[in-house]
Amino acid sequence: MPRSVEKLREHIESLFGEQIVATACAYDEAEIEVSPGALYAVMQQLRDEASLDFNLLLDIAGVDYATYGQDEWMTDEASNTGFSRGVDGFSAGRLGLTGIYGLQPIESNTGRRFAAVYHLLSTTHNQRLRVRCFAADDDLPMLDSIVPLWTSANWQEREAFDLYGILFNGHPDLRRILTDYGFVGHPFRKDFPLIGNVEVRYDENRGRVVYEPVSIEPRVLVPRVIHDDNRYADPAAEEAPNA
């Protein structure tokens, strides 16, 4: 880990104090977690403080931390002989089917569900920073908009709203940006059905596109055939002389 990354983390801790919930260094970058009430003030100082000068907002990523770390595929014991993986029909991968089979609504196993992750770059100091902020309310996730600080946040916050339902207080035009007009729900949430809710087709009699309940059946595809793959070949066996 570059020494400058650790110095940046320590410097931010000394500047912001209790406004910072947690700090860490991961993947050779510094990252901080900010309380929702301090988000705007911290982001503004990260931009304006000369010793930081994070003048460029690279991205805003919405995250749904419900069932964080859970997986229906058993991959931790996979070997070069193939993936003998079972499927748990009631794991996170199938929770999107809630409502179809009457399963219980999804709940967060982390205590906090929705967050926005901001990726900042200082072109002056050649440093990067990740800022994570959890919404205080899972039922109505809301964070302050940072569009007044970085105009590029406009479409990025709209994307997080569209896909995760995170509201950004003070956004000048918070509309969907990727899904269709009249779309119901937020497709990147863990409780959104994997097969969707509706399908569309063009009706020649009506002369327009119509929406109908989805007709495909939910299914889990399990790989059953193990193919030879030279990436997992045994070098010792290949180099051994032919008998």
Q: What is the pLDDT of residues 47-69, one digit of tens each?
A: 999 999 999 999 999 999 988 87
pLDDT, position 32: 95
Please give the mean pLDDT across all residues of the chain. Answer: 81
pTM above 0.85, yes or no: no
pLDDT, position 100: 42
pLDDT, position 61: 96
pLDDT, position 89: 52
- Residues in CB range of 126: below 8 A, 6 or more apart: none
Dihedral angle at the C-alpha atoms of 231, 77, 74, 71, nearest 10 degrees? -100
**Which is more confidently placed, 83 or 230?**
230
Nearest by Cα to 115 from 69, 42, 62: 62
Alpha carbon 101 to chain centroid distance? 26
What does residue 38 show for φ and ψ, rounded to 5 degrees? -105, 5
3-class SS of residue 82? strand
Neighbours of 186 (CB within 10 A): 20
Instruction: Return the domain boundaries, the chain.
Output: 3-67+112-181, 69-107+195-243
Q: Which CATH superfamily is domain 3-67+112-181 in?
A: NADH:ubiquinone oxidoreductase Nqo5 subunit (3.30.460.80)
The dihedral of CA 217, 222, 228, 230: what is its sign?
A: positive
Q: Categorize the per-residue pLDDT at 85 as very low, low, confident or very high, splitting at 50, 70 and 90.
A: very low
Instruction: Tell me the C-alpha distance between 32 and 39, whole Å.
Output: 11
b/e code 128-158 from CB counts within 10 Å (16+ = b): bbbbbbbbeebeebebbbbbebbeebbebbb
The DSSP 8-state label assigned to residue 112 in this structure reads: -
> Per residue in 144-193, pLDDT tens?
999 999 999 999 999 999 999 999 999 999 999 999 878 888 999 888 87
pLDDT, position 38: 95
Instruction: Tell me the C-alpha distance between 209 and 197, whole Å.
Output: 16
